[in-house]
Amino acid sequence: MSEQKPKTDLEKKARELLKERGVTLEDIGELVYYLQSPYHDHLSMDVCIENVDKVLSKREVQNAVLTGIQLDVLAEQNQLMSPLQETIATDEGLYGVDEIIALSIVNVYGSIGFTNYGFIDKQKPGILKQLNDKSTGECHTFLDDIVGAVAAAASSRLAHSEAKDEELD
Ligand code: MG
């Protein structure tokens, strides 16, 4: 399947930023596959990616992507005020606002996204492991949670579409 054409400048920017920060639709699709393949006999990567694409077409998701990545980039450039600069640059464990921003994504397709998010955040498969590699000099304090949350929401959408629930978009 091909990626949807962005409908707004906000959507275009959110999709561009994810790519610039090293995250593709396929990367997130792999996380969806990781979460959902135990529950589906014939799950394809195409279906996983299609569900990621649908999640990324939601305005609240795009706003979370922009906000989180902007803060990561400013932290990399040492542009935030102290002590927030140090907190975000070092991905301090007790900060927690990164997870809160991610929650605005998790529930767009119902509360099973919440369970998926908690699970994948602990397991950190695929791209999430790379984003958590602190040796690169890059800051992904917000992005790792956002990517996990998009995958969780896409998994939730997939589960609901398999159940033939109506009104998904
Ligand atoms: Mg984080």
Residue 66 inside a domain? The answer is yes
Residue 20 inside a domain? The answer is no
Distance 91 CA to ligand 1 centre (A): 6
Residue 157 to residue 103: CA distance in whole angstroms: 15
The total domain count for the chain is: 1
Distance 101 CA to ligand 1 centre (A): 10
Distance 1 CA to ligand 1 centre (A): 30
For residues 80 and 74, is the Cβ–Cβ distance under 8 A?
Answer: yes
**What would the mean pLDDT of 98-109 be, rounded to a whole number?**
92
CATH number, domain with residue 142: 1.10.3760.10
Distance 93 CA to ligand 1 centre (A): 8
Residue 5 inside a domain? The answer is no
Q: pLDDT tens for residues 19-33?
A: 999 999 999 999 999
For residues 142 and 76, is the Cβ–Cβ distance under 8 A?
Answer: no
pLDDT at residue 165, as a whole number: 66
Distance 151 CA to ligand 1 centre (A): 15
**What would the mean pLDDT of 45-62 be, rounded to a whole number?**
97
Residue 18 inside a domain? The answer is no
Residue 85 inside a domain? The answer is yes
Residue 16 inside a domain? The answer is no
- pTM listed for this prediction: 0.94
| Residue 4 pLDDT > 90 | no
Alpha-carbon radius of gyration of the chain: 15
Residue 131 inside a domain? The answer is yes
Place of tokens 């699709």: 29
Residue 2 inside a domain? The answer is no
| Residue 15 pLDDT > 80 | yes
**Segments forming the whole domain that contains residue 124:** 26-162
Helices (H), the chain: 9-20, 25-36, 45-56, 59-76, 84-89, 97-106, 112-123, 127-131, 143-162
pLDDT at residue 166, as a whole number: 57
Distance 99 CA to ligand 1 centre (A): 6
